[in-house]
Amino acid sequence: MHNITLIPGDGIGPEITEAMLTAVEATGVKINWERVEAGADVIDKYGTPLPEHVLESIRKNKVAIKGPLTTPIGTGFRSVNVALRRELDLYTCLRPAKSIKGVKSRFDNIDIVIVRENTEDLYAGIERQIDKDTAESIKRITRGASERIAKYAFEYAVKENRKKVTAVTKANICKFSDGLFLEACQKIAQNYPQIDYEERLIDNMCMQLVQKPELYDVLVLPNMYGDIISDLAAGLIGGLGIAPGGNIGDGIALFEPVHGSAPKYKGLYKTNPTALILSAVMMLKYIGETEASERLYKAVADVIGEGKTVTYDLGGSASTLEMGKAIAEKV
Ligand code: NAD
């Protein structure tokens, strides 16, 4: 029996979570879900969008999966998603972008893994209003965090039989901060002569990914570029509805889709549960349920490949729960 923390999230979170649970339960893996709530909806009850018992639950169980949580734009509380990653030191954001047969997109041969630093950069939230017309944000990059994410990327490449790691920065402009990140990647790369290592500037990387994505394998990036490239990569494989992810620290992990809470679709049961179900595929592999993980992935690929019971974003008319049920039946 695995004890796993479950945060359904808000917006479309609860509905895609329902579909994900149906699909995961079909694998037969015994999971005791510890359901906790976070986000704007719990502020009245607990006085904070991230109650301490949520963090405690994840610290205790060491594994969690979550739906998206809304972050107010401009004003209001800071991102709960970012706080979770920082509080639990989930320093790696791992986001595979892999083509699935049957999904209409410009490319059908994408197999890129994004390794995004998850704890610092502009996400450290060091910003201030200097006067009413001026604001500034500090981009903080440290050698320790950069070396550990570079090491994760190379270790991942070795473990998963990948050929190449590309470090992505803007070190020509941010000479100190991105320069330091790049230096860390160069240092760590020397320990992995069997893995090709190359460097790209973020602007050039965007163009290359749009034109020749098949040339790329594992990408390692500071937090902000990693965030942006994750959505770009999701676009390459056919959209946010099928892009999963995991936030991983030492002996602790929180899985979640790349996408957000898509508030305009809340309660309509229209959106695609695949990104969260594929996040559960990553989670099952992480907890050692490799065979169930592969079975669930194949069920997702089969349902999408058949194209009969898929949601609107994949050209179908199935509801979130119908797609989840179809995947469960394939499992
Ligand atoms: P979003 O990812 O929520 O949605 C953008 C668009 O992508 C949607 O309007 C929809 O067209 C599409 N989309 C997203 N998920 C989909 C799915 N499962 N199936 C089909 N289509 C899907 O991005 P946004 O609108 O910029 O952000 C909304 C909120 O989510 C914000 O408050 C943001 O801060 C938050 N957010 C949270 C997380 C997280 O919880 N980790 C991540 C990103 C954004």
Give the closest residue to 96 by CA, choosing from 117, 116, 112, 118.
112
Atom of ligand 1 nearest to the CA of 258: 42
Q: What is the pLDDT, as a whole number, of residue 73? A: 87
Indicate the pLDDT class of residue 129, thresholds 50, 70 and 90.
very high
Mutate which of 73, 85, 240 for ligand 1? The one with the most ligand atoms within 8 Å of its CB, which is 240
Residue 162 and residue 246: Cα distance in Å, rounded? 18
Can you tell me which atom of ligand 1 is nearest the CA of 272?
A: 19
Q: Which of 198, 215, 237 is the last residue of a domain?
A: 237
Four-point Cα dihedral 226, 164, 241, 204, nearest 10? 50
155 in Cβ contact with 91 (< 8 Å): no
| Whether residue 125 has pLDDT greater than 90 | no
Cβ neighbour number for residue 143 with a 10 Å cutoff: 12
Residues 112 and 233 in one domain: yes
Residues 88 and 168 in one domain: no
CA separation, residue 217 to residues 183, 207, 212 (Å): 20, 16, 12
CA 123/CA 83 separation, integer angstroms:
10
With a cut of 90, say whether residue 302 has pLDDT above it: yes
**Nearest residue (CA) to ligand 1, atom 1:** 260
Please give the residue range of the domain that contains residue 330.
Answer: 1-96+243-331
Q: Is residue 226 domain-shared with residue 125, that is, in the same domain?
A: yes
Pocket of ligand 1 (CB under 6 A): 16, 68-71, 81, 240-241, 256, 259-264, 271-272, 275, 313
Query: Based on the domain organization, do 225 and 173 belong to the same domain?
Result: yes
Same domain, 280 and 233: no
Pair 233, 124 in one domain: yes
pLDDT at 229 over 90: yes
* Pairing assessment for the beta strands 218-221 and 164-169 based on DSSP bridges: parallel
Residue 128 CA neighbour count, 13 Å, CB half: 3
Model confidence pLDDT, tens digit, residues 24-55: 999 999 999 999 999 988 999 999 999 999 99
Please give the pLDDT value at position 14.
97
Q: Per residue in 7-17, pLDDT tens?
A: 999 999 999 99
Q: What is the pLDDT of residue 5?
A: 98
What total number of domains does the chain contain? 2
Tell me, in angstroms, the distance from the centre of ligand 1 to residue 260's CA: 3
d(CA 287, CA 202): 34
Same-domain pairing of 80 and 111: no
Q: Which residue type occupies 324?
A: G
Q: Identify whether residues 90 and 187 lie together within a single domain.
A: no
- Residue 77, pLDDT above cutoff 90: no
Residue matched to tokens 């502009």: 122
Q: Are 157 and 222 members of one domain?
A: yes
Q: Say yes or no: 69 and 115 in one domain.
A: no
Q: How confident is the model at residue 76 (pLDDT cuts 50, 70, 90)?
A: confident
Residue 212, CA atoms < 13 Å, CB-side half-sphere? 5
Domain finish residue from 180, 202, 237: 237
Backbone φ and ψ of 312, nearest 5°: -55, -40
Amino acid sitting at position 237: I
Say which CATH number the domain at 38 has: 3.40.718.10
Q: Return all residues near 313 (Cβ < 8 A) that are at least 6 apart.
A: 238, 239, 241, 271, 272
203 is catalytic: yes
Is the predicted pLDDT of residue 261 greater than 90, yes or no?
A: yes
**End position of a domain, from candidates 220, 237, 254:** 237
- pLDDT value of position 75: 80
Q: How confident is the model at residue 326 (pLDDT cuts 50, 70, 90)?
A: very high
Please provide residue 187's backbone torsions phi and psi, each rounded to the nearest 5 degrees: -65, -50
Same domain, 58 and 132: no
What rounded mean pLDDT belongs to the chain? Answer: 96
Whether residue 115 is found in the same domain as residue 226: yes
Q: Which long-range contacts (CB under 8 A, 24 or more apart) does 292-295 make?
A: 292/27, 292/28, 292/29, 295/27, 295/331
* pLDDT tens, position by position, 134-156: 999 999 999 999 999 999 999 99
